[in-house]
A and B are shown apart, each in its own frame.
Chain A
């Protein structure tokens, strides 16, 4: 693996074996995260973005889910590259928290309501760094200060319900960063928060990333958040990556019809009012993962769909030659027509 690579996901497949059939939640996804970089994985519900992040952490509920193929190569703090899908549960526990930490959408459900936040942060520190309780509590207070919680020493004794949503998310971040992970996976970390609180948390994450130099894998459906946070973007649809590019070219010149549709369907505050007559919606519905359309899963909603071409085989993820990737058989034509 390349020296600057921290994480490389290769052809990852996660399937759920349900009574109704096999749900191919993630079906051959590949991407990488470099050191110090923020990669955003964008998609709507059912795209497989959250399952991908859970699979990296080996947190897929088994049964019904299982990683059925692919590799997750990760460079540990010791410099050694391991395939996380092959590690034992004990080895994986050393990675979680220590090397890779994760924060979730709903900070209320990821904190234990019957322990104080101090106890919960200290527990992680004692577990992973072998510190005494006293040292761990001191470090916990320092972490709370780092994430901008006022009166951190006093707050250590608070229970999660005594804090607001924004404060709880700060606690989650403090806990996640307490062991200096090299990769932070943030799964919709601001989705449950109000927009002014979201702004606080995004600023905080950027500041901490600069200070600590960790990489972030940012899972979100919010394209505004992507534009603000990401260096590179992977767009997912129905369990597959359909486009991958640096953030600026992706927003400026989206190649996949789905990416393009998604960007156009978002209401924007910054455009002049005369452009605001109507939103360009993507027709149809997000497909049922049990019955994915044949060929390109987006074809029933795509205005560039050609019968016999798009509905036969799953298009390959092609390199475009300028460091981007796209999964659409017609991307060249579509790009030419637009230019």
Chain B
């Protein structure tokens, strides 16, 4: 999958958080938040990454930006391995990779004006030599995200949740990045505002040719914006396919159950629902073999023996499940 068109690729990415215990604070166990995830994102593509809490989707996003250091695996950005680049060598890449956070309330510094918040990355990366140039750029960015240049002198608390998320997007766009990780960018917003922000991201993607990793737990939102979708469970990718294909024709039992659990806003639609028993197991001690087998209605004894590989079952459609006789 590593042609000229690939902008970002991760190979067997792992992030294990150590758990320390005892008087000597020795490592007694580890949380396998991300445990061998591989995918590639093409230039101009939106890859949706969905999963429930504890699936490791947020950790994938942060690890591939090297906001947290990976335990194993490789990260390739625009053909270059950035997994072990030292801080100063990483800086030019940081300019090209940005992030939008979930919570528009805690991700903006309340003591800075909106203008200063958006101008900060410009100063850090030495874009816009004079304050005047920077102010012009900030005004341009505010217009781009549907706010007014007059908002520059105001503080974050003067804005609603949706407007703050727009400010966060403007900040991410300030340095004209190629790639953005959007980590649950709409889940803290009201329904009527969610749609505004999803549409804005879609427009910006078209206009600026952005490449996005769109992380969310809301499957319906992800479908609207993504070209392809990866489904995670307990630190692993269960299924990866073109968006339409994944939603219409899920091949993995977990995806099937996840889709059937989403309530449909139409009281006349009656569906068969697959209710998964129990909770997501602990990532400290995940089940052997397939991590989903403890909740899977198709599980066989073999599922406990082998860790299923993510393999191609139809063109561009990958699943990690040993059962080819279902779905």
Q: Does B325 contact A (CB under 8 A)?
A: no
Smallest Cβ-Cβ distance to A150: which chain B residue: B278
Query: Which listed segment binds B: A49-57, A216-224, A312-320?
Result: A216-224
Complex interface: chain A residues within 8 A of B30 (CB): none
Per-residue CB contact flags for chain A residues 195-238 toward chain B (1 = under 8 Å, else 0) read: 11111101100000000000000000111111110100000000
Known: A223-B265, A269-B219, A281-B199. A194 touches B53 (CB 8 A): yes
What is the bound-complex CA distance between A282 and B199, given in angstroms? Answer: 11
Known: A45-B190, A279-B195. A167 touches B279 (CB 8 A): yes
Complex interface: chain B residues within 8 A of A268 (CB): 220, 264-266
A283 B196 Cβ-Cβ under 8 A: yes
Complex interface: chain B residues within 8 A of A266 (CB): 191, 195, 220, 265
Chain A interface size, as a band, is: 35 or more
Q: Does B85 contact A (CB under 8 A)?
A: no
Tell me the interface secondary structure of chain B in the complex: helix
Query: Which listed segment binds B: A116-124, A244-252, A327-335?
Result: A244-252
Q: Does A280 contact B (CB under 8 A)?
A: yes
Q: Does A263 contact B (CB under 8 A)?
A: yes
Q: Does A4 contact B (CB under 8 A)?
A: no
Smallest Cβ-Cβ distance to A258: which chain B residue: B192
Per-residue CB contact flags for chain B residues 263-283 toward chain A (1 = under 8 Å, else 0) read: 111111100010110011000
Give the residues from 264 to 289 in chain A that come closer than 8 angstroms, CB to CB, to chain B. Answer: 265-270, 273, 276, 278-283, 285-286
What is the bound-complex CA distance between A194 and B248, given in angstroms? Answer: 22
Smallest Cβ-Cβ distance to B51: which chain A residue: A194
Q: Name the one of A167, A221, A263 contacting B190, with C-beta atoms under 8 angstroms.
A: A221
What is the bound-complex CA distance between A228 and B265, given in angstroms? Answer: 8
Per-residue CB contact flags for chain B residues 112-148 toward chain A (1 = under 8 Å, else 0) read: 0000000000000000000000000000000000000
Q: What's the nearest-Cβ distance from chain A to residue B277, in Å?
A: 8
Q: Does A262 contact B (CB under 8 A)?
A: yes
Complex interface: chain B residues within 8 A of A262 (CB): 191-192
Count, chain B residues at interface, CB 8 A: 44
Q: What's the nearest-Cβ distance from chain A to residue B161, in Å?
A: 8
Known: A278-B202, A279-B199. A269 touches B192 (CB 8 A): no
Q: Does A164 contact B (CB under 8 A)?
A: yes
Q: Does A152 contact B (CB under 8 A)?
A: no
A198 B224 Cβ-Cβ under 8 A: no
Complex interface: chain B residues within 8 A of A276 (CB): 223-224
B163 A285 Cβ-Cβ under 8 A: yes
Which of A203, A225, A228, A252 has the most chain B CB atoms closer than 10 A to its own CB? A228
Q: What's the nearest-Cβ distance from chain A to residue B311, in Å?
A: 25
Smallest Cβ-Cβ distance to A231: which chain B residue: B267
Complex interface: chain B residues within 8 A of A267 (CB): 194-195, 198, 218, 220-221, 223-224
What is the bound-complex CA distance between A312 and B131, given in angstroms? Answer: 46
Q: What's the nearest-Cβ distance from chain B to residue A302, in Å?
A: 12
Q: Does B310 contact A (CB under 8 A)?
A: no
- Residues of A that sit less than 8 Å from B by CB: 44-45, 164, 166-167, 194-200, 202-203, 221-228, 230, 247-248, 251-252, 261-263, 265-270, 273, 276, 278-283, 285-286, 301
List 12 A–B pairs whose Cβ atoms lie within 8 Å, in order of A's numbering: A45-B161, A200-B276, A227-B269, A230-B267, A265-B192, A266-B195, A268-B264, A269-B220, A273-B247, A278-B202, A279-B195, A281-B192
